[in-house]
A and B are shown apart, each in its own frame.
Chain A
Amino acid sequence: MQNMINAVKGTARGVAEYLTPVLTESKFKETGVITPEEFVVAGDHIVHHCPTWQWATGEDIKIRPYLPPDKQFLITRNVPCYKRVKQMDTHQQEQEKVIEEEDDDGGWVDTHHFAPDSNVVNTAELVAEMTLDSKTSQTKAALDEDDDDDDEDDGEAEDMEAFEQGGMLEEEDDATLKPEAVVSESDGAAGGGDSGIIQTRTYDLNITYDKYYQTPRLWLFGYDENRKPLTVDELYDDFSQDHAKKTVTMEAHPHLPGPPLASVHPCKHADVMKKIIQTVAEGGGELGVHMYLMIFLKFVQAVIPTIEYDYTRHFTM
């Protein structure tokens, strides 16, 4: 239901965006919204500290006049996502910190706020564990995929095995690293460390400036273990269950061609940002507007807890 409401809102918003004047005066501390200029300042800050994030232009015809042509939105590519949210059942009540309470939709919760720092180490261990049974998970992925082909009701797909070439095409080349070779190498040699290439889901993430909500907006494009685009249902595996379908909508990207992309709906962003700024102010600290995107990326992590994008700086709230 919420999904549909968001879809309708999305269309109406397109019209409303024309009518919304561009925000020029800074209202960031009072309301949590930012001007395009402030978005650029915050974007420059994140590009400087996390070079995996870069500015992009997008399609020329879609350039927004209130942003510099070469700084229309931010992009980071090939971000790994090793686990589905439901696999990551480390959720513990005592680690939660409610960021926003008085909200009928349930508000925002930072699920790992009080988690000890050793979490980082745990993740590394988990990843190492994953390598050992990567063979089984790969086969499973392959099986799943065959299922997908059968599901399609719009014309049969060709049998891809019929396209495979015999030994005629090219010689066996032993300078090409075989994926299995690396895994066994590290199993054998003690302290070998080379744990091989992990076939995992990856994401491309974008942050655009949403003129209507006057906040940043996060977009996601996911690839499966074989680097094929994820379907919408597969994408939902990587959103926290509290937010999937409610906060996440499929819409046309404002700067890129192509099919609709998943995006974290920005209708609550300003409120959450305002709350965080207030929390920091109460603690005697002050957040400069240049920190805006780092905080933004920290709080959207509650929506996509397993996508390992970089947002740097362990700042305290």
Chain B
Amino acid sequence: MEKLQYAPFSCGLDAGFWQKLSEKKLNEYALDETPKVIRGFYFNGDLANLSPRIVLDYTGFDRQFKIPPRCFLSIGTLYLKNTLDNFKECDKKLIIDQVAEQIWQDIKDLKAVEDPSLLSRFVLLSFADLKKYHYYYWFAFPALIYDVFLLSKPTSLKDSLSTEQIENLVKNYDQFQAQFTSFHGYFVISSLEDDLAVIELQHTDTLLAAGKKVTFVFCDPCTLENHPGWPLRNFLVLIAKKWGNKMESVNVLCFRDRSRDGVRDISHSLLLNIKLEKLDDQVCPKCVGWEKNERQKLGPRMVNLSSTMDPTRLCESAV
């Protein structure tokens, strides 16, 4: 049996984000180092072979954050340090473990069944050298460790469903998402009267009680042919915790929704058949997720924006 491996998230930060962070630091946070809530989003329609990423732009600080259309929420914690030494010396293990504990808590008391977006969290540890326009940052996408194995090779949706069934699924998916103010990244599908119905995760028990077969679905930012993306990791822990005693294996659909040249396509979505391992549900599982840097080492990154943000340099290049 093949062990399931997930493509990790990477971060995408635009220059507007750093500008906003600088303003916040100067005008609002000042020397306050307490963690702040920020928000990012991911997308499941990228072209093939692009790296899955969580995007943060200047809206990430807004209290009334609006997720862009067709994107999915990820909740973040910002640790903005006052000095480079604080940035360097803070306890990274503690930081990620606190988020892992939070995710585990939401899984244990089943809050994540009602609001599965709680499963998708990130950490941004940062230090902003506002005089030099140097920004140091390190992301973590915390995932609880729960090893599972594939019972069969991943198949694509087009090999399992007919063209009509796929079209039907797209229609039901659109209707499902249209009920909410923003897109939901986790749900289930089940066959009801010859139709593949798209249903909220919290109704899974009702479906199972009625003897229906359920496929768990998550919106997958990954584009690889044999591997799912990161959001499945914590979702599987939730599935194992909540339904592990009722089923030995689960079907998971990695929902990918691409449009190109005016044609919508979900047929490259992946179907996985996963053996559910027994989960020790007394203790919080160990956690991984710090992003590797350009050298593929565990370490932060730095971006120098002086050429675009420093007023004196902007003046020089303007003439």
Contact = CB atoms under 8 A, between A and B. Distances in A.
Interface stretch (A33-41, A96-104, A305-313): A305-313
A174 B5 contact: yes
Interface in B13-43: 13-16, 18-20, 43
Contacts of A164: 293, 295, 297-299
A129 interface: no
Main secondary structure of the interface of B (DSSP, over half): mixed
B218 to A, nearest CB: 16
A80 B224 contact: no
B58 A169 contact: no
Contacts of B69: 51, 54-55
A109 interface: no
A173 B8 CA distance: 11
Nearest to B312: A154
Interface residues of B, number: 79
A163 B261 contact: no
Interface string B1-19: 0011111101111111011
A197 B7 contact: yes
A221 B58 CA distance: 14
B2 to A, nearest CB: 11
Given A149-B304, A232-B317, A260-B314, A49 B262 contact: yes
Name, among A192, A194, A259, A308, the residue most crowded by chain B CB atoms within 10 Å (CB to CB): A259
Contact of B55 (A77, A148, A194): A77
Contacts of A121: none
A177 interface: yes
A264 B264 CA distance: 29
A259 B49 contact: no
Nearest to A52: B259
B6 A175 contact: yes
Interface in B266-280: none
Interface in A174-223: 174-177, 179, 181-182, 185, 192-200, 202, 204, 221, 223
Contact of A256 (B58, B132, B145, B319): B58
Contact of B49 (A59, A152, A177, A197): A197
Contact of A157 (B134, B224, B294): B134
Given A127-B49, A260-B308, A169 B298 contact: yes
A177 B8 contact: yes
A227 B5 contact: no
B92 to A, nearest CB: 6
Contacts of B288: 170-171, 173, 176
B16 A174 contact: no
B305 interface: yes
B195 interface: no
A147 interface: no
18 contacts: A56-B68, A78-B43, A154-B313, A157-B302, A158-B136, A161-B297, A165-B298, A165-B299, A169-B290, A175-B5, A182-B226, A192-B226, A197-B49, A221-B15, A231-B307, A232-B308, A256-B58, A312-B262
Interface of B: 3-8, 10-16, 18-20, 43, 45-51, 53, 55, 58, 66, 68-70, 84, 88, 92-93, 96, 132, 134, 136, 145, 147, 224-227, 233, 259-262, 264, 286-290, 293-310, 313-314, 317-319
Question: Lowest 8 CB-CB distances: which A-B pairs, in order?
Answer: A164-B299, A312-B262, A258-B16, A259-B308, A194-B225, A173-B288, A258-B19, A177-B5
Interface of A: 4, 7, 49-52, 54-57, 59, 75, 77-78, 80, 127, 131, 142, 145, 148-149, 152, 154-155, 157-158, 160-161, 163-165, 168-171, 173-177, 179, 181-182, 185, 192-200, 202, 204, 221, 223, 226-229, 231-232, 256-260, 308, 310, 312-314
